[in-house]
Structure 1
């Protein structure tokens, strides 16, 4: 018997069900995602089999920032005169060249990596040795230049990012020997980002304004202490108007005098449906009227997550089309572009990217939920968005999580003769059901039994108010991501509030 029988989930004696319409073939496994309460597994969703099919083919990762790239590279000599000796020691890679007239040198390459596209900056080559070596970036399989332009006078030296900006980024570094005796030691390679433009600022969300209404100055002080220059606030609507309107207008005015911009935030997965869209548009009209009384209210942000609806799993493209329809309709009501909050993987999903392109004229900025705590991973997540062809005109903010997030658990169930998970296609298009006891497998109702469970620690997703760790990540990301003109700054969830 499996040690993780269904009785070990928070069922209160009842089975759990998740819609799975349109699934014709029986999968070999099912993955159920959930959290734990009092030690009991509480399922929240089932990953639809084959969901990865919508993702684009994997591409090389970008070389990391703030790391020595040299250990990631392979190196080999070239030249028909065989006049190059190559060795490595604690100081780095040593290149010794004998006299000769034919091109010779060393090629540095790294499978699975590429130079970051779109960044403004340089590849810095550090080391010491003789002058006269040449540096160049070449595509794999391309011959090294016989006489690289700009012969290297001394290390350190740099190759500007303009050299690879309009390429696929997959490039080898070629170090070419001079015609005479020469030795050079390359100790490190680093990506050095330029700081493009002004500081992009930091944004944060406030979901309940009521604690701040009586003392707007306290919110100003706290925002300044955290370096926040824009706030996304949720406004409560009742009886066709914004609650506490007069106090909120005063609060916005106080914040505006402190150069802190205020934006209204709305969002619900149901907005990606016809009924939810109608409700969202009704609220938008009320918010638009409120903006007339509070001209300091800058704009409107919408966090619509169609993928949270069970129906999304059966037809992702339809979910994103509904999302796009709502975004366009909201922009029309406001008479201006809106800001959208999106999952980081949207741009890697064919249907998601198509929806994004379709609303280009309706959005003024984008906030990407890059909810990870490792800055290197955040940089990898951010780059496809910062390289998006609309990013120069539509700023892309990168959002981090600082609030309390429970650990997540992924349970993999596999086909079995007896099991506690059932794929039921008998009604309403199909469903995955977790039962309170095991049953036998059948052709019409195949069953699955737990194979294994993987814990996804929340510390990978949220900084959990670890202020020093968050501060270090902020400094690095503001430094590296500012190398892209389209970077719209960081947005940090749960940054302000009592006890923060």
Structure 2
């Protein structure tokens, strides 16, 4: 009855414009929609959100809007954490496709309660005096110290109480890489070098690393860090003065990576026709870039590997060249419950192929690239989707006797519980560390390499060399009227992109301030293979300091 009265009010009332924002069960065709987006849910059900000029079905949750459906060119469900805040700037990325605007990324609003930055790994091979803080300690105030432009100067007066300098980096941690603390400097006196963890600091203790016997000429001394067990708990180093008068000038203090053999590189062959029809070209590419592993797409039909003899022949040919072959598979939808049987059937097909072949013709393992965050609606129930992902990884392990790798994005470094949950079922991870700045590549990789070291798993670090689509960043600010509306329907927030500025009676309106294009230069080495090849040896040398490092992987290398 209430629904009917509402319809009559809209039909015969004074509203000149009326469109409905609605959330309907999938398959409900009672209302034709001009703009529609899919919302998948972890329980296997599906919703669709839409903008329509047609009266919605009673089965749909809806809200009437004072505009025409033709005014809307973009629609995106968002989480409360992504929602715009009154008085705060707002930004998003997107692109125009088929006269519609697709929002590809929401940039969190800037607020005064923004979370503190995550801790970062101390870099290897760089002078840490450029980023450390220095503070003196000692009851007798017998130390003068200055840290400036990457150089530390210390003057110690005689005394009977401990004194010296504390060198700390509050937002950094000591990575688990095999490394030594290397100090270079000059002066006079014997200075004790100590590493201190948070637990040790609480009881005024530390791990003695050795002494720096300063002399007038430059001296370089390295100290083993194997006594520093809880590296993630590291808090600072101390340089303690001797009892007598002494002085010290340090020109550098760095973590010197202790690399072993550098593992070979890997790359993907996504088109099966490449290795099937032009195997020599694929192997020539492998030789060109010193690849030791190929991840190839292996066709599966009717629960079995298609043309198994052809695959076996390629594996033998690659093996003769010292190249291991893995099967690669994956699709975001594999995390859905309804796709689980077909996904596991594919895993069993690879395993059966190996069982039927002699050792020299077998796949080395299987890699799954399943990215649930690409599913429509992932953000609305991220924790539940992540649990589906964990269940999928365990099921893949249980349905195959092959080595199993998963491909993950670098930003999953912020999901330590998820990574720890899948560790028991994996032989390793490949992290899509798609950046071109070497400092960023290192920073994102270190977290995963530490994870691999803790769990005894291998980690490959992947870089992108393929084209990245141009996107545009749009900046907004709250206003009385704007081209972007934020609307709450039930418990679900939506962003509506409009053709023209309009007042929003249902929430915040945001006015466009400007745009700038985002190229792929920060993400991909596309068009700059020379830069990629220059960076690879240094990255490999540094990453090889981790026992977990399995090599670099190159995506879309040509």
TM-score of Structure 1 vs Structure 2, range by shorter chain: 0.7 to 0.9
**2:525 is aligned with 1:463:** yes
**2:555 is aligned with 1:493:** yes
Paired residue for 1:43, among 102, 105, 111?
A: 102
1:147-166: CA deviation from partner (whole Å, max 9, x where unpaired): 96743235322232224331
**2:192 is aligned with 1:129:** no
Partner of 2:541: 479
Paired residue for 2:213, among 153, 166, 181?
A: 153
C-alpha contact (below 8 Å) 1:385/1:391 kept by paired residues: no
**2:496 is aligned with 1:433:** yes
Partner of 2:93: 33
Distance 1:74 1:317 in 2: 38
**2:426 is aligned with 1:363:** yes
**2:512 is aligned with 1:450:** yes
The alignment's TM-score, normalised by the length of structure 1, stands at 0.82
Partner of 1:3: none
CA drift of 1:398 comes to: 1.4
1:86-113: CA deviation from partner (whole Å, max 9, x where unpaired): 4578893333334444433333333433
Distance 2:419 2:110 in 1: 19
C-alpha contact (below 8 Å) 2:132/2:169 kept by paired residues: yes
C-alpha contact (below 8 Å) 2:194/2:237 kept by paired residues: yes
CA RMSD of aligned residues (A): 3.7
C-alpha contact (below 8 Å) 1:231/1:262 kept by paired residues: yes
**2:172 is aligned with 1:113:** yes
| CA 1:184–1:380: 2 relative to 1, 3 Å | same
C-alpha contact (below 8 Å) 1:94/1:185 kept by paired residues: yes
Structure 2: stretches of 5+ with no match in the other structure: 1-69
| CA 1:464–1:181: 2 relative to 1, 3 Å | same
Worse-matched range after superposition: 358-367 or 22-31: 22-31
| CA 1:112–1:129: 2 relative to 1, 3 Å | same
Distance 2:256 2:82 in 1: 51
Query: Does 1 or 2 have the higher relative contact order (CA < 8 Å, sep 6+)?
Result: 1
Worse-matched range after superposition: 381-390 or 369-378: 381-390
Distance 1:298 1:415 in 2: 55
Worse-matched range after superposition: 94-103 or 224-233: 94-103
C-alpha contact (below 8 Å) 2:134/2:147 kept by paired residues: no
**2:84 is aligned with 1:18:** no
The alignment's TM-score, normalised by the length of structure 2, stands at 0.74
Paired residue for 1:317, among 383, 405, 411?
A: 383
Distance 1:442 1:378 in 2: 45
C-alpha contact (below 8 Å) 1:18/1:432 kept by paired residues: yes
Distance 1:410 1:183 in 2: 54
Distance 1:343 1:147 in 2: 36
1:317-336: CA deviation from partner (whole Å, max 9, x where unpaired): 11111212222222222234
Distance 2:208 2:456 in 1: 36
Partner of 1:164: 228
| CA 1:465–1:255: 2 relative to 1, 3 Å | farther
Partner of 2:40: none
Residues 268-283 of structure 1: matches in 2 within 5 Å? 268-283=331-346
Partner of 2:311: 248
CA drift of 1:461 comes to: 0.9
Partner SS state of residue 334, structure 1: coil
Report how many aligned residue pairs link the two structures: 476
Distance 2:243 2:171 in 1: 33
Partner of 1:376: 439
C-alpha contact (below 8 Å) 2:181/2:225 kept by paired residues: yes
Paired residue for 1:191, among 255, 271, 290?
A: 255
Partner SS state of residue 213, structure 2: coil
CA drift of 1:373 comes to: 1.2
Partner SS state of residue 531, structure 2: helix
CA drift of 1:364 comes to: 1.5
Residues 234-245 of structure 1: matches in 2 within 5 Å? 234-238=297-301, 242-243=305-306, 245=308
1:44-78: CA deviation from partner (whole Å, max 9, x where unpaired): 435397999xx997443222223211122333444
C-alpha contact (below 8 Å) 1:87/1:95 kept by paired residues: yes
Partner of 1:335: 401
Partner SS state of residue 130, structure 1: strand
Worse-matched range after superposition: 363-372 or 82-91: 82-91
Distance 1:396 1:36 in 2: 37
Distance 1:227 1:60 in 2: 34
CA drift of 1:254 comes to: 0.2
C-alpha contact (below 8 Å) 1:35/1:42 kept by paired residues: yes
Partner of 2:196: 138
Partner of 2:25: none
Worse-matched range after superposition: 18-27 or 333-342: 18-27
| CA 1:50–1:185: 2 relative to 1, 3 Å | closer
Worse-matched range after superposition: 185-194 or 18-27: 18-27
**2:151 is aligned with 1:92:** yes
CA drift of 1:270 comes to: 0.8
